[in-house]
Amino acid sequence: MTWLQCPRPRPYARQRLVCFPHAGGSASFFRDWGPALPSVEVHTVCYPGRAARIGDPPPTDLTAMAEEIAAAVEPLTRDGLPVVLFGHSMGAVVAFETARLLQAQEAAPKHLYVSGSRGPRLSNVRSGASADVYDDPEAVIAELLALGGTDAELLADPDFRALVLPYVLGDFRMFDAYEYCPDLRLTCRVTAIVGDADPQVSTAQSKVWGEVTDGPFRHLTVPGDHFYLAHEPPFPLLTGTGVPT
């Protein structure tokens, strides 16, 4: 069972970046980040039930999944190289829970980036839709199209839909079942990023991430929708060379 994928190991990197995909996402979403960040060793989390792990049972408990991911990430912290976590949408909450588990093991990340996500206290609060909407595949397809993260032509393909809908539905149900427990605050730096045209996450909802840490907190609103990072990845921010434009 492989939780992390690192196509480009970099022994002389300045930091390690662990990326957590969105609900229904896979490691391939971040495939271009390694080549674009030559001073960073990029690792991407591989969720079960899709892509290379299509034969594994899909996850049903977000916190339990974070425990397994934390066990895989912890060895990356042992040589002293800074480890940074970046999670998008549902991946932001998975990254957050992973960061808390690492901190409890005295292996806290240097920085947590949470992108396109409500603060965890609000993470499973949906506006205008109940959780059982995800029992309707057509409603799920409509939401995916509205978010802009999946090609419309692919979703029109019956074979593609049959392949991806089971794990997309599973991720949505798992995310809806997540319950935030404010029992352990982070000590690391946290940066929250949201697109100014995100239909799912408002600026105010994104700013709630400031509640989770006793360390420095920064909030950024950038141009774009829920998947702003597909068109303008925040590379300058991640490498410390500036704010994404």
**For residue 103, what are the contacts with CB-CB under 8 A and spacing of at least 6?**
109, 184, 186, 187, 188
Q: Is 18 exposed, middle or buried (0-12, 13-18, 19+ CB in 10 A)?
A: buried
CA–CA distance, 229 with 232 (Å, rounded to integer): 5
- Residue 43 annotated among the catalytic residues of the structure: no
231 is catalytic: no
The active-site residue, picked from 43, 88, 111, 226, is 226
Q: What is the DSSP letter of 215?
A: S
Catalytic residue among 26, 88, 89, 117: 89
Name 139's bridge partners.
none
Nearest to 52 by CA among 16, 84, 7, 106: 7
Query: What is the Cβ-side half-sphere exposure of residue 169, based on CA atoms within 13 angstroms?
Result: 16
Give the residue numbers marked as catalytic.
Answer: 89, 226
